[in-house]
Amino acid sequence: MSTDNKNLELKKVLTPIHLWGLGVGIVISGSYFGWNFGLAESGFVGMVIATAIIGIMYTTLCLSLAELSTIMPHAGGAYAFARRAMGPLGGYLTGVGVILEFAVGTAVFTSGAGYYVNFLIPEINPIAAAAFLYVFFFIIHILGVKEFATIEMILVTVSVLFLIIFAFYGVPHISSEKLFSGELIPGGFSGVWAALPYAMWLYICMEMLPMLSEECKNPVKDMPRGIMSAIITLIVLAFLVVTVTVGLGGAEGASKESNPLSYALSVGVSKNLWVIDAIAIVGLFGLISSLAGSVLAYSRQVFSLSRAGYLPKFLSRLHNTRRTPYMAIVVPGALGFIFVLMFDPNKLILISTFGALVSYVMMNLSLIMLRKKEPNLARPYKAPFYPVGPIICIIISVLALFSAVFSDITFFFISVAIFALAVVYYFAWARHNINSEAPEEQFVTESLSDSKGIASYEEVPESKKKEVATS
């Protein structure tokens, strides 16, 4: 690898406990805000079904990611997996889905956090609060991933602790009448389907962890442990939060609230509980935790695609001393802030989940294709339940992908249009600028050299490197 590309390598500092904290932390705000918008159509029973379906999807996805991330421990994550299996266009579109998910997700988290701040301190404008949070976490991420992971661990610990406290106060007061009043599933089958994107908010962004493989001390051992411990934690919390919230506040009331947990306690237990205001404050911590993790995720995907030549080169610049991708942090973040100004968060959720689901389909297809194309590829960890697991994940992802039609057909077509524009950009510019020495691209060329009996990547002729990079 050239000196220039050596200078684009990230620092290895993360351990399994960091990965657990980052995985749970980036998702945890979904327990406090967002998922409840799906209750209007689904009711409690429909939301539980949607939560279970999406829980299965994420469990199977995580098993696939655990295998893929140990094969390809690069910052490219999803893009790297699909690039190896499907070629540059497949890898690029998978990366676009990830960027769309996290950049727009950051806007959702920031918007929610801004309104939480305004709820707690009405004198502070929510947009001003959102702008402050953007700038603050830009600085934290530029300082370094280990520094961020330490802050994230504190936020995650507090957020999970207060979900347990919420359950402790709420469980004894759960009302079966509120859980099962009226129609069990108001919108029927379509109601469950419409709730899928909102149920995703209880788990979404877990898939950012493989993008941290390049920064793990031992990705082969650490990544599977971190991914699976995080998803198990999130599944338990998801069912706990949905059941207690609806059991205290009812589906109809909770579906309209921007702070559903505090609302549920005030209606179902007492308006005078200290924990009501505390949960509002911790809900803000949760949103900040997810916001911070989302910045980490989109910046790594933008960085890797830029390093490989798919995006403009300046986006892969690293800070001279901190070795952090500062341009990949700031530029997409600034664009995300424009989304905060333009759209409601419940609409942005649909765009974010659309991008996520496209990447899920592509990553699971990549696992299946690599098992067939390269059966002898070194796999330190092999996903159990193959091929059933990835096939289930693909089926659920496709069903959820089209659920946006029930929620808001306009935003469904906006999402499709974004991918169409990405394809045009690829053929007009990206495919002519691929850097064959980027780690993810080099890994593809190495597979060719191995198959041809060439000892190393350096022995592959330059003409063959370019041919592979564009094939």
CB atoms within 10 A of CB 194: 23
Task: Tell how far CA 319 is from the center of its chain.
Answer: 25
What is the C-alpha to C-alpha distance for residues 242 and 373, in angstroms, rounded to an integer? 42
Secondary structure letter of residue 212 according to DSSP: G
Does residue 14 sit in helix, strand or coil? strand
pLDDT of residue 28: 85
Query: H/E element holding 356?
Result: helix 345-373
Cβ(316)–Cβ(303) under 8 Å? yes
Taking alpha carbons only, the member of 106, 42, 97 closest to residue 422 is 97
pLDDT of residue 244: 95
Taking alpha carbons only, the member of 228, 280, 281 closest to residue 257 is 280
Q: Is 195 exposed, middle or buried (0-12, 13-18, 19+ CB in 10 A)?
A: buried
pLDDT of residue 457: 33
Q: CA separation (Å) from 30 to 91, 170, 260, 372, 403?
A: 28, 19, 11, 36, 19
Taking alpha carbons only, the member of 346, 349, 353, 345 closest to residue 401 is 353
Q: Is 146 exposed, middle or buried (0-12, 13-18, 19+ CB in 10 A)?
A: middle
Secondary structure letter of residue 216 according to DSSP: B
What is the C-alpha to C-alpha distance for residues 333 and 131, in angstroms, rounded to an integer? 10
Tokens encoding 208:
């950012």
340-349: per-residue pLDDT in tens? 888 777 788 8
Tokens encoding 425:
């950009």
pLDDT of residue 49: 96
What is the C-alpha to C-alpha distance for residues 285 and 262, in angstroms, rounded to an integer? 14
121-131: per-residue pLDDT in tens? 889 998 899 88
Cβ(301)–Cβ(95) under 8 Å? yes
pLDDT of residue 468: 42
Return the ∠ at Cα 282 (arms to 281 and 287), rounded to 5°. Answer: 100
134-150: per-residue pLDDT in tens? 888 888 777 776 666 77
Taking alpha carbons only, the member of 255, 191, 248 closest to residue 49 is 191
What is the C-alpha to C-alpha distance for residues 196 and 308, in angstroms, rounded to an integer? 34
Report the chain's terminal Cα–Cα distance, integer Å: 20
- Walk along the chain (471 residues) and give the pLDDT tens digit of each residue: 444 544 445 667 777 888 888 888 888 888 887 889 889 889 999 999 999 999 999 999 999 999 998 888 765 678 888 998 999 999 999 999 999 998 998 888 888 788 778 877 889 998 899 889 888 888 877 777 666 677 777 888 888 888 999 999 999 999 999 998 777 788 788 889 889 988 998 998 888 888 777 778 888 888 888 899 999 999 999 999 999 999 999 988 888 887 889 899 999 988 888 888 888 788 887 788 788 778 888 988 899 899 999 999 999 988 777 778 889 999 998 888 888 888 777 788 888 889 999 999 999 999 999 999 999 888 888 999 999 999 999 999 998 888 867 777 888 899 999 999 999 999 999 999 998 888 777 766 665 445 443 333 333 444 544 444 444
Cβ(54)–Cβ(202) under 8 Å? yes
Tokens encoding 111:
């918007």
217-260: per-residue pLDDT in tens? 888 888 888 899 999 999 999 999 999 999 999 988 888 887 88
**Phi, psi for residue 308 in degrees, rounded to 5:** -85, -5
What is the C-alpha to C-alpha distance for residues 324 and 145, in angstroms, rounded to an integer? 8
Cis peptide before 387 (omega within 30 of 0): yes
Identity (one letter) of the amino acid at 298? Y
Cβ(403)–Cβ(193) under 8 Å? yes
3-state helix, strand, coil in the chain (%, to 5): 80, 0, 20
Tokens encoding 357:
């689901």
pLDDT of residue 364: 96
Q: CA separation (Å) from 214 to 217, 304, 444, 454?
A: 8, 11, 17, 26
Full set of structural domains in the chain with CATH: 3-435 (1.20.1740.10), 440-471 (no CATH)
